[in-house]
Amino acid sequence: MHRYVTCFLLMASLSIPALARAGEADDLQRIIEDGRQTANDLERLDEQKAVGTELTFLRTWLDRAWSLRSQEKYDAVRVVTDRCKAQADMIREKITASKLAAQADQKEAEVVRARATLERTKKALEAAKIQKYRLEGKS
Amino acid sequence: MSNLRTGSLVMIKMTRGLSILPVAAVLLLAQGCALKPKPSELEALEKLRATPSGAAAAKRAPALVKNSDELLKRAQDEWHSSNLDESVDAALMGQAKLKHAIALADQDASKARVAKAEDDLDDVKEQQEKVKKDLDDMNEKVALLKKLNEKQAALVAETAQAEEERRNLSEQMEKDRKLAADKAETADKIGAAELALKTADTVQASTYASAKYGAAAESLARAQAEAKQEDFRGAQMSADIAKKTADEAAAIAQPIHAEKSKADENRARADTLTREASTIAGVEVRRDARGALQRIVLSIQADQLFTKKQTVITPGRDALLEPIANLMKKKEYLNYPVQIIGFADPRGNSSSLLPLTLARAQSVATGLMSRGVDSKRVMATGQGGSEPLAGGKDRNRNNRIEIIFMYQ
């Protein structure tokens, strides 16, 4: 009986890491695939094309992570996927920043146009005043 | 980077087999003795951290930047420890964190820009609205002033036009008035010329001043033609000339005509007188002339009034004087001076004939005056035996009394 228990424990101790590794591989695969999907989503969001380089890096790193996963270097994969996550977060914020910058540019351009319109209106007002004085002089 | 990659390959080979262990040991020793080149990722992180963006990011996201700084430190440590892969990993992660923080700072900056731009836009729009309102007000005033000026200009133009029309009308009226005046004056002048010509006609200027009269008639015809063509000035001049010429013609003809008329009148009156005198019984009437002097001679045989050599009218025979006196007293003949001349037959003493004939003439004159004939008209003379009318058996006719009406 003791021998069986020992055998069982031995077999269990041998099989649990294997099972755990299989679960981690799947988990990493899911993370990598999520990262790729995220990269695609971010590319679609990048209307200003402000993060092309960063996205390239992200995809390269995801490929690298996939490669490391295939080599069952799960710790290294974790390092790379963590970096990919940070890179994705950064890209998202950078896209937001670029959109805000574009919005700011647009607003500032709008201000410039409005100021130009204001200047034209002021000039028109001055011209109208002069015209009024002239007309008053005539009448 | 290539060195790092080389280092990584060496490491891999080192883990794969112990056969290359000596070589790897040598290489590791060599690498360990010399500091490997700094990974570019680490350099990039250091540079990025040193930028103003890095400083701004530290304020915006201190946790992220702190994390990044830790990673930077770790990357540097790993690099110093020649763990290049770890250094690169840490540097890349640090970059991601720092860039994340920078992006957040950029977002804030952009948001601030947007906010400022929106504020500016609000300000500008507010100003624009105010200026636009002012402009609209001003344009409205300008439009009103323009309209006012246009109306004033139109009024001025209308006034000017009305003034022009009034002036034109006035000028036209003046022209018409002048034309009418010219026409009237021309008509007056032509009328005056016609009158002058008719006046000239009355003195028969066409006969007595034919050249002038013809010229006047021609000028008048020309004046009438010019008046018809409304050439009033020419017509007036022609009419003036016509009048002047007609007046001259009349002036020339007037005395001639007057003289002729008087002569005609005298002749007619003389004819009447002759005719009336011829009706008186016992009176022989004849007419003759002595130079310019015309005479109607009522010859009465002396024996019809006197007996033989008497000088006093025989009573009962003076009735013959009655019709003669009546004739002389007629108003048409009052202007005739009357000469009473006694004639006798020239035979005998001529010296006694003159007193006889004079006495007899005076007797007749007295007889006439006693019948109302004005004595101033009567002049009695005796001619004796002069101007005998007959000889022989008719010589008694020479004894006569002639009552002579004289005229020019």
**Same-domain check for residues B7 and B83:** yes
Which of residues B198, B221, B255 is at a domain's end?
B255
SS (HEC) of B331-361: HHHCCCCEEEEEECCCCCCHHHHHHHHHHHH
- Quote the mean pLDDT of chain B: 85
The total number of structural domains in chain B stands at: 3
In a domain, B127, yes or no: no
pLDDT value at position A49?
Answer: 93
pLDDT in tens, B228-287: 898 888 888 898 898 889 888 888 888 888 888 777 787 788 888 888 888 988 888 988
Residue B407, strand partner residues: B294
pLDDT above 80: residue B59: yes
Q: Inform me whether the C-beta atom of residue A86 falls under 8 Å from chain B C-beta atoms.
A: yes
Beta bridge partners of B380: B340
Q: Residue B68: what are its φ and ψ, rounded to 5°?
A: -65, -45
Tokens of B207: 């006969």
The separation between the first and the last C-alpha atoms of chain B, rounded to the nearest angstrom, is 174
Q: Which pLDDT score is estimated for A2?
A: 66
Beta bridge partners of B300: B283, B401
Residues of B in contact with A124 (CB under 8 A): 135
Cβ pair B135:A115 closer than 8 A: no
| Residue B228 belongs to a domain | yes
pLDDT tier, B351 (very low <50, low <70, confident <90, very high otherwise): confident
Q: Which of B120, B131, B146 sits opposite A122 (nearest CB)?
A: B131
User: Do residues B377 and B304 both lie within one domain?
Assistant: yes
Those residues whose C-beta lies under 8 Å from the C-beta of residue A122, and which sit 6 or more positions away, are: B131
Q: What confidence tier does B58 reach under pLDDT thresholds 50, 70, 90?
A: very high
For range B109-137, the mean pLDDT = 91
What is the predicted pLDDT for the residue at B258?
81
Do B284 and B246 fall into the same domain?
Answer: no
CB contact B97 to A (< 8 Å): yes
B375 has pLDDT over 90: no
Distant-in-sequence, close-in-space partners of A64: CB < 8 Å, separation ≥ 6: A80
> Rounded CA gap, B353 and B357, in Å?
6
Query: What pLDDT score was predicted for residue A13?
Result: 61
**What DSSP designation does B280 have?**
S
B335 with B403, same domain: the answer is: yes
Percent of chain B with pLDDT over 90: 36
What pLDDT, on a 0 to 100 scale, did the predictor assign at position A17? 59
Q: Is there a contact between A107 and B113 if contact means CB atoms under 8 Å apart?
A: yes
Angstrom CA distances, A83 to A29, A40, B86, B222, stand at 15, 17, 12, 132
Q: Please tell me the predicted confidence (pLDDT) of residue B11.
A: 42
Mutation target vs A (from B129, B135, B137; most A CBs, 10 A cutoff):
B135
pLDDT of residue B231: 87
Q: What is the mean pLDDT of residues B301-325?
A: 88
Dist CA B108 CA B100 (whole Å): 12
Q: Alpha carbon of A139 to those of A5, A124, A126, B151, B153: distances in Å?
A: 120, 22, 20, 10, 9
Q: Which contiguous run of DSSP H or E holds residue B380?
A: strand B378-384
CA atoms within 13 A on the CB side of A71: 12
Same domain, residue pair B175 and B232 = yes
Whether B263 is in a domain gets the answer no
Domain boundary assignment for chain A: 27-138
Q: State the Cα–Cα distance between residues B199 and B205, nearest whole angstrom.
A: 9
pLDDT at B171 over 90: no
Do residue B303 and residue B335 come from a single domain? yes
Using pLDDT thresholds of 50, 70 and 90, give the confidence band for residue B107.
very high
Domain hosting B66: range is 2-112
B151-162 pLDDT, tens per residue? Answer: 888 888 888 888
- Banded model confidence at residue B13, pLDDT cuts 50, 70, 90: very low
- Asked if residue B401 and residue B324 are part of one domain, the reply reads yes
C-alpha–C-alpha distance, residues B346 and B398, integer Å? 8
Pairing mode of beta strands B338-343, B400-407: antiparallel
Is B137 a member of any domain? Answer: no
**Cβ atoms of residues B107 and B62 within 8 Å:** no
- Successive 10-residue mean pLDDT values, chain A, 139 residues: 62 60 87 96 93 95 95 93 94 94 92 93 92 82
> For residue B127, what is the enclosing H or E element?
helix B84-202
Please state, in angstroms and rounded to a whole number, the distance separating the CA atoms of residues B179 and B173.
9
User: Which residue among A96, A111, A117 sits closest to B120, beta carbon to beta carbon?
Assistant: A111
Three-state secondary-structure class, residue B148: helix
Is residue B359 located within the same domain as residue B326? yes
To the nearest 10°, the Cα dihedral for B69, B73, B78, B80? 140
pLDDT of residue B3: 41
Q: Is 50 exceeded by the pLDDT of residue B176? A: yes
pTM over 0.80: no
Domain boundary among B112, B131, B150: B112
Q: What is the pLDDT of residue B78?
A: 94
Domain of residue B342, CATH code: 3.30.1330.60
State the smallest CA–CA distance between residue A79 and chain B in angstroms: 8
Residue B17 clears pLDDT 60, i.e. is over it: no
Q: Which of B252, B240, B254, B259 is nearest to B212 (CA)?
A: B252
Predicted local confidence at residue A97, as pLDDT: 93
Q: Are residues B102 and B19 in the same domain?
A: yes
- Contact yes or no for A63/A35 (Cβ under 8 A): no
* A vs B: CB pairs below 8 A: 104
Domain end among B255, B270, B298: B255
Measured at the alpha carbon of residue B387, what is the angle toward residues B384 and B390, in degrees to the nearest 5?
Answer: 110
* B367 and B286 housed in the same domain: yes
Residue B171 lies in a domain: yes
